[in-house]
Amino acid sequence: MRLTAQEQKMLDGAEGEAIAAAMRILVQYGEILGAERLVETDNVCGATVFGPRHSRVLGDTDPARLFSRFALDSDEVLEVPAVKAHSCQLIGPRDPEHWDLQGMTAETSAEIERSQRYLADRGVNLLSTCTPYQVGNDPRFGEHCAWMESSAVVYINSVLGARTNTEGRESAAASMLTGRTPYVGLHRDEERLATHRVVVEAPMHSTYDWNVLGYHLGDVLDDAVPVLDGIDLTPDPVDLKQFGAAIASSGDVELYHIPRVTPEARTLEEALGGRTPRETLRVGPEDLVAAAARLNATAASDEIDFVMIGCPHASLSQIREVAELLDGRRIADSTNLWVFTPSALRTVAERNGYRAAIERAGGRILSDTCPAIAQFLPPGTRTFATDSAKQAHYLPAIMGVGGHFGSTSRCVEAAITGRWSG
Ligand code: F3S
């Protein structure tokens, strides 16, 4: 890999051992990917808050030791300076307000707090969400970024036209400290052109439809760059958030185009860059029915113990919708309804009265974390319901529970009756 003089200095240790360790990670990783050089980045999102899962391995809760070991691959405790790139922490292990609902001890909560403080002291913004683009980190068109989290990666690549690969914890941490990322994959123009044309013949009327379309396409495309043809209604940001999360969970899609909707595809021809698609696929209503059936295949019971809304983290409009659907009614005693959102949006939901409406019904709004990432559920949960294809895909595998997938209104109804209907 060709390095600039400045990058070579960083690699040689002129800026300290932590920066040198970060450069070693980027050079090794870039060379494995076939990158010929690095590119500057000033927007990095990573996940380097550590808790008991990591400290148990080391037998030490010192945040500096944990960061050195798990973010920079060093057994030495390195002196880590302030980050060079604007950086933020993605979703983490703990809701700072409701950690007790997660079944967490005060000691564990304090350990996570220390790890967060360590990052904040180095300039990492604690957005603590899988949707930084909803709370102030919305990269510019064409901006080179280094983000983790598949749903966020596909959103900023596709909807905003920013450029990132799906980074890992170590490469993101290294990019935070150096302001560099390998110039490879979706940073390059030619990798961003559509490879597959998807003719959507199923009507796309709702967020539910977008979830299911994403889940179906991830399954059949794996890691292609699709362009969707035949979309005549303009999807809103929530539709696109749910679609991207779904297509990146059943498959590895990191970028898609929709003519007249996403910024790199004013036309079908522009999305394809004048090339012939490798394949043209048709998606009809029957494909979506089959995908929805797969998402509902894990539940052995219609008794709902837990309703999860907010994967990826809920927008304000989604929280409002839940508050309005509850409409003064109460959630069944046997059921928990938890809505997950960034903490900044929980604050606004509180101001607007949505939080009070949800809590009066017996629900809760949680922030900074989610059941799949932090591996927690309300005690005794055997069957859950969710309006997110991604959560329906992952939670059964991660937590060994059965799940139902449906629209938000159907999920809220399940919370009120305690049963999945229809
Ligand atoms: Fe976010 Fe957790 Fe879903 S990280 S995308 S709420 S699985």
Domain count, the chain: 3
Q: Is residue 115 part of a domain?
A: yes
Ligand 1 contacts CB of residue 249 (under 6 A): no
Same domain, residue pair 321 and 284: no
CA atoms within 13 A on the CB side of 64: 8
Ligand 1 contacts CB of residue 370 (under 6 A): yes
pLDDT cut 90: percent of the chain above it:
99
pLDDT of residue 74: 97
Q: Is residue 356 part of a domain?
A: yes
Instruction: From residue 206, give the alpha-carbon distance in Å to each of 289, 358, 387.
Output: 14, 23, 12
**Burial (Cβ within 10 Å: 0-12, 13-18, ≥19) of residue 172:** buried
pLDDT, average across residues 212-224:
96
pLDDT, average across residues 376-401:
97
Same domain, residue pair 18 and 161: yes
Distance in Å, CA 312 to ligand 1 centroid: 5
Same domain, residue pair 178 and 121: yes
Residue nearest to atom 1 of ligand 1 (CA): 312
Domain limit, last residue, from 294, 326, 341 = 294
Domain limit, last residue, from 126, 155, 188 = 188
Same domain, residue pair 332 and 386: yes
Q: Where are the alpha helices (DSSP H) in 184-336?
A: 207-221, 237-250, 268-272, 285-295, 316-326
pLDDT, average across residues 360-367:
98
pLDDT of residue 419: 98
Average pLDDT, the chain: 97
Residue nearest to atom 6 of ligand 1 (CA): 311
pLDDT of residue 222: 84
Ligand 1 contacts CB of residue 339 (under 6 A): no
Same domain, residue pair 258 and 311: no
Distance in Å, CA 170 to ligand 1 centroid: 20
pLDDT, average across residues 334-342:
98
Q: Is residue 307 part of a domain?
A: yes
Ramachandran quadrant class, 142 (left: phi over 0; alpha: psi -120 to 50; beta: rest): left
DSSP run (H or E) holding 54: helix 52-58
Ligand 1 contacts CB of residue 244 (under 6 A): no
Same domain, residue pair 162 and 39: yes
Q: Is pLDDT above 70 for 70? A: yes
* Interval 147-163: pLDDT, tens: 999 999 999 999 999 99
Distance in Å, CA 172 to ligand 1 centroid: 18
**What is the secondary structure of 320-335 as a DSSP string?**
HHHHHHHTT----TT-
The closest-lying atom of ligand 1 relative to the alpha carbon of residue 312 is 5
Taking the C-alpha atoms of residue 134 and residue 150, their distance in angstroms, rounded to an integer, is 15
* Interval 10-21: pLDDT, tens: 999 999 999 999
Same domain, residue pair 341 and 226: no
The closest-lying atom of ligand 1 relative to the alpha carbon of residue 372 is 7
Q: Is residue 236 part of a domain?
A: yes
Domain limit, last residue, from 264, 294, 324 = 294
Residue nearest to atom 2 of ligand 1 (CA): 370
pLDDT of residue 367: 98
Give the range of the structural domain holding residue 153, as residue numbers without chain letter.
Answer: 5-188
Residue nearest to atom 3 of ligand 1 (CA): 311
pLDDT of residue 249: 97
Q: What CATH number did the domain enclosing 109 receive? A: 3.30.499
Ligand 1 contacts CB of residue 92 (under 6 A): no
Q: Is pLDDT above 90 for 422? A: no
Distance in Å, CA 281 to ligand 1 centroid: 29
Distance in Å, CA 388 to ligand 1 centroid: 9
Distance in Å, CA 34 to ligand 1 centroid: 30
Same domain, residue pair 341 and 352: yes
Q: Is residue 174 part of a domain?
A: yes
Q: Which of 90, 151, 154, 243 is the best mutation target for the ligand 1 pocket, counting ligand atoms within 8 Å of the beta carbon and taking the most?
A: 151
Ligand 1 contacts CB of residue 130 (under 6 A): yes
Q: What CATH number did the domain enclosing 379 receive? A: 3.30.499.10
Q: Is residue 422 part of a domain?
A: no
Same domain, residue pair 265 and 310: no
Same domain, residue pair 222 and 121: no
The closest-lying atom of ligand 1 relative to the alpha carbon of residue 130 is 1
Of residues 118, 58, 47, 56, the one with CA closest to residue 88: 47
pLDDT, average across residues 160-179:
98
Same domain, residue pair 10 and 88: yes
Terminal Cα-to-Cα distance of the chain (whole angstroms): 58
Same domain, residue pair 157 and 145: yes
Q: Which of 238, 373, 376 is the best mutation target for the ligand 1 pocket, counting ligand atoms within 8 Å of the beta carbon and taking the most?
A: 373
The closest-lying atom of ligand 1 relative to the alpha carbon of residue 90 is 4
In this structure, how many other beta carbons lie within 10 angstroms of the beta carbon of residue 259?
18
pLDDT, average across residues 69-82:
97
* Interval 125-134: pLDDT, tens: 999 999 999 9
